Amino acid sequence: MVNFSWTFLAAFLAVWAPSVTALWPQPQQITTGTTPLRLSPGFSIQLSNINGAPQDLRDAITRTKQYLQKDNLQILAPDRGASNAGAISKANTLSKLTLSLDGGTVTSISQEAVKPLESRVEGYSLSIPANGGEAVLSANTTLGLFRGLTTFGQLWYDWDGTTYTLEAPINIVDSPAYPYRGFMLDTARNYFPVSDILRVLDAMSWVKLNTFHWHVVDSQSFPLVVPGFEGISQKGAYSSAFTYSTSDVKNIVQYAAARGIDVIAEIDTPGHTSIIYTSYPEHVACPLATPWAQFANEPPAGQLRFASPATTNFTASLLTSASSLFSSQYFSTGGDELNINCYTQDTQTQQELAQQNKTLEQALDTFTQTTHGALREKGKTPVVWEEMALVHNVTLGNDTLIMVWISSQNVQAVAQKGFKVVHAASDYFYLDCGGGGWVGNYPAGNSWCDPFKTWQKAYTFNPTANLTEAQSKLIMGGEHLLWTEQSGPSNLDPIVWPRAATSAELWWSGAGGNVDTALPRLHDLSFRFLQRGVNTIPLQPLWCALRPGVCDLTA
Amino acid sequence: MVNFSWTFLAAFLAVWAPSVTALWPQPQQITTGTTPLRLSPGFSIQLSNINGAPQDLRDAITRTKQYLQKDNLQILAPDRGASNAGAISKANTLSKLTLSLDGGTVTSISQEAVKPLESRVEGYSLSIPANGGEAVLSANTTLGLFRGLTTFGQLWYDWDGTTYTLEAPINIVDSPAYPYRGFMLDTARNYFPVSDILRVLDAMSWVKLNTFHWHVVDSQSFPLVVPGFEGISQKGAYSSAFTYSTSDVKNIVQYAAARGIDVIAEIDTPGHTSIIYTSYPEHVACPLATPWAQFANEPPAGQLRFASPATTNFTASLLTSASSLFSSQYFSTGGDELNINCYTQDTQTQQELAQQNKTLEQALDTFTQTTHGALREKGKTPVVWEEMALVHNVTLGNDTLIMVWISSQNVQAVAQKGFKVVHAASDYFYLDCGGGGWVGNYPAGNSWCDPFKTWQKAYTFNPTANLTEAQSKLIMGGEHLLWTEQSGPSNLDPIVWPRAATSAELWWSGAGGNVDTALPRLHDLSFRFLQRGVNTIPLQPLWCALRPGVCDLTA
């Protein structure tokens, strides 16, 4: 028998240990002190030596001030900070944050956000003195300043209307480990209103994600209105209300760019295109063929007749027009899950191949070179799924971004071929896995990519496993992905957050994160997200969230 | 090579096949015709031969009419019913529904809803003629009329403002297979505002669930304000805002009863009571003891000192007071996951046992008989978790409801002992499983009850597997359960619906449901729930939902 007073005391001490700072993602370098500091009631954010500061930077400053006023984030402790009241009331005050741009010409966040991955400059340094006065945020670009503003907004807790930290002075030097830090949303299986996408973009920016991979169309629906091809969405969207007009897209692209996010749209070709048969039946092989499982990985079957020069030209024109809606340097042509049987059974395709004396693979090469060539004429770099590099014998430019989705085991093979890699593996980053299958008349009901991918699994992923140093340099970053067979506006937030934030830290801070120290910061993140209107799920009972470490497995 | 015209045609026919009626749960007996019928613009619901119709029945009629006006449920077809416009415009009109009470004295829905399970009468018959005029709903109780109203509200689709069916005449004779049809919500791991609970109750009533099992308190927090024991929630709720006042409880109980739902509250004892140490430290053994895994299945550790007469009397008084807040015939005293080591290590418990010359099991028997006796004095029947019947050697009344949660395999053993069983097995009905683990510093991150429990798994559950006919009669029904370590208001709806509806049909309609024919009806249910403000998840891409059967595995 033991006397329990010591165990009670131990738990009590853990309860009152100072909460970690609510930063997410963790900066590359940070030093903190132990001095309380509070924001002055008249706290201001000012621009220094920035002639003609762009409007998106000014707007970002306004948002940062709004968040500082409205987040009301209380520390992770049972008393939520009440016991800090005395220290806070006597603390020095910080009266302003000054933004300093160290580089040359001033370009907007929006312009910086859509530069090629390698030339995007997102680093910054932030210095907050313990004795109050002025904090300084420095960067070489407005995009870097924006990332620093995001960090600044996470440094503070609130008690009774006072915004404070207990950890001044704070000095941060920060920049991302990987240039591609994404999130993918499928808006074709089920539709999401523009307002949902804008909320996703806001949330992404809070964790410094910089790429919205928009899987906008697929076999089930075609909500994107493409100039010159309006008939596809007229007949292929779920309804006229379930479309993205050109002004919707412009709104989304601008909203994203102003938040440091590049929108990489995807029109998946030549597979995943069944719905185009409703407007251009001549371009689609095996439309709605049954049993669908012999013709496609998902119903409905139907793929572009890529062996046909007319279909190839149609696709090139479609991609050219669609890509012109986006300011990104990149555009994805998809290329996953091509079903060969669909073409074997398609009379027209077989006739085309015979006439051209080509194999199916040779025709696919022609199709890919033509469509990618059309994009390159518009200055775009193609993005494709892994099969284009590993399964099919097609010519790809060395700069093509290859998204590895089937398995993280396939990354090595792509890197060995010298291609740039985006991690998007189903075994780590598919948010839809483990929630049950969606095909009908299937009593077993499991999902193809069981089990559920926990935040811990993504967070502890090693992006350069089994790669040489040279191959490791081909890793551009990665993304969480939401395929929406069983998602819609009703569960968008809880299925995405906070899991997508965990890879955001992986790509920004680099590998090696510890789940134990991450968890309290994820709680802070969740409380902040909820306060800002994003419905993250709780990862623990509130009792545990307020007592970091006390609910650890071995605590 | 095949000609695709036939496959195209086949899919097209499937698309245009008439959608099934949007009933959930399926009635016991139903015959339908093929005549279009629409509701008259002046459609009314009238009471016949019901002297002094209770207010809750009148309110239910008002809600039914509101749903008929606002559901706007369109049929599952790509055109959502446009092609029915001609038939609808020429259809006969139904001008009124007459409610007829066949029984004797009129008691309210609320009074019927809280009767003992065996004496609750929920059956009804409904007759809708093809030639328009008057429909008739008959029942022996107001509760039966309420169930029939719920059915009536699900019989109609909407096109362009007209509420119609294509399946008149419709004749239904219906009653539930099982008297206990529940849903359990844990409001202790994370708190849910009253408004969330009311929304759950509404949704439950739409699928004829009749029991809200409210796991209101637990080791992590004690939000229930119990008269005479206010200190427990003052010190043990997460905050004063995160409590359920006596008026909140009254509101919830009345709201539920008016919707045919009995609220069975649970104060889990003697385990799962750690938080009581903050107000009554003398009654709690091993509070916050570490490592917690040696003292409890979850942090924080802490259990009532049931060997102490003082603690036993305290508990009996607490249960007596808490149970008086609820109009239910039933009250749950919990009894799961008792940790023996907590008592082995507790000096006071060991001294009490020695003084009384009792074993721990003997003391538990005394505690159980005393607390259950106190409840019985208030006219309540106890409800317990399975361990009380299978693990511990305690005296239980034959009428005690035993909830089997650890495994459905344990049902047989409980039935063999002659106890009444409520199915609540983690391997079928735990909504929280498969979403990842919540304990900290646990990189594997899986949940103890992996995998995710799909709707198909619950729907195809056999409630009387391996039971004799006599044992089968002990099955009262069952429930889906939501333990909320990783749930809060942000994900309540999507984690519960439509899965909890699938067991609702199992308990109402009986076993043997087919997942293939259920799926389109679940789509209708989801659309209806969304329209009524409950955030169900989509189970398929909209393309599939609008084409019943086309996305089946073998279609």
DSSP codes of every residue in A148-199: HHHHHHTS-EEETTEEEEEEEEEEEEE--S-SEEEEEEE-SSS---HHHHHH
Q: Give me the mean pLDDT over the A190-204 stretch.
A: 98
Interface residue of A537, A539, A546 to substitute, partner B, most B CBs within 10 Å: A537
Cβ–Cβ contacts within 10 Å for residue B10, how many? 15
Tell me if B552 and A441 make a contact (CB, 8 A cut-off): yes
- Rounded to an integer, what distance in angstroms lies between the CA atom of residue B11 and that of residue B13? 5
Q: Is the bond leading into A227 cis (omega within 30 degrees of zero)?
A: no
For residue A460, the model assigns a pLDDT of: 96
Amino acid residing at B321: S
Q: What is the pLDDT of residues B502-539, one digit of tens each?
A: 999 999 999 999 999 999 999 999 999 999 999 999 99
Residue entry with tokens 């802070």 = A524
B189, A347: Cβ pair inside 8 Å?
no
A231 Cβ contact list (under 8 Å, min separation 6) = A279, A280
User: How confident is the model over A456-477, as a mean pLDDT?
Assistant: 97
Tens-place pLDDT, residues A397-445: 999 999 999 999 999 999 999 999 999 999 999 999 999 999 999 888 8
CA neighbor of B367 nearest in space, from B309, B296, B409: B309
CA A287 to chain B, closest CA, distance in angstroms equals 7
Q: Is B167 a catalytic residue?
A: no
What SS3 state is found at A67?
A: helix
High-pLDDT (> 90) share of chain B, %: 93
pLDDT band, very low/low/confident/very high, at A15 (cuts 50, 70, 90): very low
Six-digit token pair at B64? 């039914």
A348-405: pLDDT as tens digits: 999 999 999 999 999 999 999 999 999 999 999 999 999 999 999 899 999 999 999 9
Q: Quick count: other Cβ atoms within 10 Å of Cβ A230?
A: 14
The pLDDT assigned to A355 comes to 97
Give the sign of the dihedral formed by CA A139, CA A141, CA A146, CA A150: negative
Q: Does B289 touch chain A (CB under 8 A)?
A: yes
Task: Please give the CATH topology (third level) of the domain spanning A29-174.
Answer: Chitobiase; domain 2 (3.30.379)
Q: Is A450 on the interface with B (CB under 8 A)?
A: yes
Which distant-in-sequence residues (6+ apart) come within 8 Å of A165 by Cβ? A21, A36, A37, A38, A128, A155, A156, A157
| Residue-wise burial string across A482-503, b where 16 or more C-beta atoms lie within 10 A, e elsewhere | bbbbbbbbbbbbbbbbbbbbbb
Q: What are phi and psi of B349, to 5 degrees?
A: -60, -45
Residues in chain A: 555
- pLDDT of B13 over the 60 cut: no
Domain boundaries, chain A: 29-174
Specify the pLDDT at position B15. Answer: 33
CA-wise closest residue to B329 among B254, B262, B248, B246 = B262
Chain B residues in contact with A12 by the CB 8 A cut-off are 288
- Selection from A376, A303, A314, A288 nearest residue A340 by Cα: A303
Nearest one of A419, A503, A486, A476 to A448, comparing CA atoms = A486
Distance separating alpha carbons of residues A504 and A61, to the nearest angstrom: 22
Quote the pLDDT of residue A4.
35
- Is A288 an 8 Å CB contact of chain B? yes
- All residues at 6 or more sequence positions from B229 whose CB lies less than 8 Å from its CB, including other chains: B279, B317, B318, B321, B322
Cross-chain residue pair A544–B491, CB shorter than 8 Å:
no
Q: Tell me how far apart the alpha carbons of residues B490 and B512 are, in angstroms, rounded to a whole number.
A: 34
Question: Catalytic: which of B337, B352, B377, B386?
Answer: B337
Rg of chain A over Cα atoms, rounded to whole angstroms, equals 25
Q: How far apart are CA B395 and CA B335, in angstroms?
A: 13
In this structure, of A231-235, B3-7, B289-293, B415-419, the range with the lowest mean pLDDT score is B3-7
CA dist B57 → A500, A541, B53, B179, B203 (Å):
48, 39, 7, 21, 18
B300/A543 Cβ within 8 A? yes
Mean pLDDT computed over A297-309:
98
Residue-wise over B276-305: b if at least 16 C-beta within 10 A, else e? Answer: bbbbbeebbbbbbbbebeebbebbbbbbbb
pLDDT above 80: residue B491: yes
pLDDT attached to residue B65: 97
Q: Does B456 touch chain A (CB under 8 A)?
A: yes
CA-based angle A103:A108:A112, to the nearest 5?
A: 75
Say yes or no to pLDDT of B103 above 90. Answer: no
Residue listed under structure tokens 């060395």: A398
Whether residue B5 lies within 8 A of chain A, CB to CB, comes out as: no
Task: Assign B164 to helix, strand or coil.
Answer: strand
Residue B216 token pair: 């209101």
Chain B nearest C-alpha distance from A492 (Å):
9
- The alpha carbon of A126 is separated from its chain's Cα centroid by a whole number of angstroms, namely 25
CB contact under 8 A, B189 and A543: yes
A553/B439 CB distance under 8 A: yes
Q: Does A553 touch chain B (CB under 8 A)?
A: yes
Looking at the DSSP assignment, which residues form a beta bridge with residue B165? B37
Query: What CA–CA distance (Å, rounded) separates A498 from A537?
Result: 7
Check residue B18 and give its pLDDT: 35
Question: B536 to chain A: nearest residue by CA?
Answer: A490
Q: Distance between terminal CA atoms of chain A?
A: 19
Interface of B with A in 174-193 (CB under 8 A): 188-191
Task: Place B105 in a pLDDT band, splitting at 50, 70 and 90.
Answer: confident
Contact of B555 with chain A, judged by CB distance below 8 Å, is answered with: yes
The pLDDT of residue B19: 36
Kindly state the helix (H) or strand (E) to which residue B402 belongs, with its residue range.
strand B401-404
Q: What is the pLDDT of residue B362?
A: 98
Mark which residues 12-71 of B lie under 8 Å from A by CB: 12
| From A112, A167, A298, A337, the catalytic residue | A337
- Mean pLDDT on B360-369: 98
Confidence of residue A2 (pLDDT cuts 50, 70, 90): very low
- Report the distance separating Cα A45 and Cα A62, nearest Å: 9
Per the DSSP assignment, residues forming a β-bridge with A482 are A185
In the predicted model, what is the mean pLDDT of chain A?
Answer: 94
SS (H, E, C) B177-208: CCCEEEEEEECCCCCCCHHHHHHHHHHHHHCC
Percent of chain A whose pLDDT exceeds 90? 93
Task: Report residue B10's pLDDT band, with 50, 70 and 90 as the boundaries.
Answer: very low
Of A266, A334, A330, A332, nearest to A297 (Cα)?
Answer: A334
Q: Does residue A506 carry a pLDDT above 60? A: yes
Over the range A407-442, which residues count as b (16 or more CB within 10 Å of their CB) and which as e? ebebbbebbeeebbbbbbbbbbbbbbbbbbbbbbbb
Q: So what's the pLDDT on residue A85? A: 94
Kindly report the nearest CA distance between residue A171 and chain B, in angstroms.
28
Q: Does B220 touch chain A (CB under 8 A)?
A: yes
**Are residues A337 and A301 in contact, defined by beta-carbon separation less than 8 angstroms?**
no
Q: Is B298 helix (H, G, I), strand (E, B) or coil?
A: coil
Q: What are phi and psi of A506, to 5 degrees?
A: -60, -45
Give alpha helix (H) positions in B194-344.
194-206, 230-236, 246-258, 309-323, 340-344
pLDDT of amino acid B555: 94
pLDDT the model gives residue A17: 33
Report chain B's mean pLDDT, rounded to a whole number.
94
Position A216 scores a pLDDT of: 98
Q: Would strands A162-174 and A157-159 be described as parallel, antiparallel, or unpaired?
A: antiparallel
Residue B20 has a pLDDT of 46
Using the beta-carbon criterion (under 8 Å), do B7 and A288 form an inter-chain contact? yes
* Model confidence pLDDT, tens digit, residues A323-344: 999 999 999 999 999 999 999 9
Q: In the structure encoding, which two tokens stand for residue A552, read together?
A: 């650890």
Measured from the Cβ of residue A450, the count of other Cβ atoms closer than 10 Å reads 16
Three-state DSSP at A414 gives helix
Q: Is residue B206 very low, low, confident or very high in pLDDT (cuts 50, 70, 90)? A: very high
pLDDT score at A8: 37
Of the candidates A139, A106, A142, A146, the residue with the CA atom closest to the CA atom of residue A124: A139
Nearest CB to A538 within list B10, B452, B487: B487
Please identify which residue in the block is written with the tokens 């594997």: B444
Q: What is residue B280's predicted lDDT score, i.e. its pLDDT?
A: 98
Is the Cβ–Cβ distance between B62 and B99 less than 8 Å? no
So what's the pLDDT on residue B91?
96
Half-sphere CA count of B426, side-chain side, radius 13 A: 15
Helix, strand, coil abundance in chain A, percent, nearest 5: 40, 20, 40
Query: Which residues does B546 contact at the CB level (< 8 Å), separation at least 6?
Result: B15, B76, B77, B78, B80
What digits encode the pLDDT tens for the residues A119-157? Answer: 999 999 999 999 988 999 999 999 999 999 999 999 999
Q: Which of B420, B454, B415 is nearest to B178 (CA)?
A: B420
Rounded Cα distance between A510 and A493, Å, is 25
B300: its two tokens:
């924080």
Distance CA A211, CA A503 (A): 13
Which pLDDT belongs to residue A52? 84
pLDDT in tens, A154-186: 999 999 999 999 999 999 999 999 999 999 999
Residue to substitute from B1, B2, B3, B4, interface A, most A β-carbons within 10 A: B4
| Residue A6: how many other CB atoms lie within 10 Å | 11
pLDDT digits (tens, 9 = 90+) for B122-161: 999 999 999 988 999 999 999 999 999 999 999 999 999 9
